[in-house]
A and B are shown apart, each in its own frame.
Chain A
Amino acid sequence: GESVGLHLPTLSVQEGDNSIINCAYSNSASDYFIWYKQESGKGPQFIIDIRSNMDKRQGQRVTVLLNKTVKHLSLQIAATQPGDSAVYFCAESADAGGTSYGKLTFGQGTILTVHP
């Protein structure tokens, strides 16, 4: 498969553990945030999103936490499985009064490796 990124932060966990992946953002005007998963040779896959009027949102086995005070976003994966091994990255956007046309700014990503 192709290399998505070099020298990315890495997280190694054992199967069944919980994983926490972090993301810092810089634009205080950002009001919409998304987490993506990318497996080798594939496009980014949407996991979960959150708007700035929320600080927590839960999905199936995943939870996203948003701390606007420190501009920090985290993705928690419960009972991590080998199939969760991938690169995970966050994205942010600011509506900018409707003129931004939904342009997203992407983080570099974190490589998650789950050991059986």
Chain B
Amino acid sequence: DAGITQSPRHKVTETGTPVTLRCHQTENHRYMYWYRQDPGHGLRLIHYSYGVKDTDKGEVSDGYSVSRSKTEDFLLTLESATSSQTSVYFCASRQSSYNSPLHFGNGTRLTVT
């Protein structure tokens, strides 16, 4: 769907270690987003990007950083992973900032032990 690939699909890491999740899209979409999905909370926005090197915080950005050096790639970094960051992470992209749907990747399941 919309050519979005996330890697890795699964990862287990220890508390305190840095982790980087990768998102690659082949649709030349300008806008990209990182969400986390947790039971009882639904999808919550972590960070988003509205162009190369243009990023901003979402509602749950503490402990996360992002980078977008190319249109097709959007990286999410957990600077020092904590157990509360155990979650499923989804990347999404869209063509326009309004009146167009987000297209999602298949997610990365991250477990922090």
Q: Kindly provide the distance from the CB of B98 to the nearest chain A CB, expressed in whole angstroms.
A: 5
Closest A residue to B38 by beta carbon equals: A5
Look across to chain A and name the residue whose beta carbon is closest to the beta carbon of B40: A6
A-B contact count (CB 8 A): 75
Interface of A is mostly: loop
Residues A103 and B58 in contact in the complex (CB < 8 Å), given A5-B39, A109-B42: yes
Q: Which chain B residue shows the least CB distance to A43?
A: B104
Partner-A contacts on B (CB < 8 A): 1, 4, 31, 33, 37, 39-40, 42-43, 45, 48, 50, 56, 58, 88, 90, 92, 94, 96-107, 109
For the complex with contacts A43-B4, A102-B100, A104-B102, 9 further pairs of A-B residues with Cβ separation under 8 Å are A7-B40, A43-B107, A45-B1, A49-B99, A91-B102, A101-B48, A104-B45, A106-B43, A108-B40
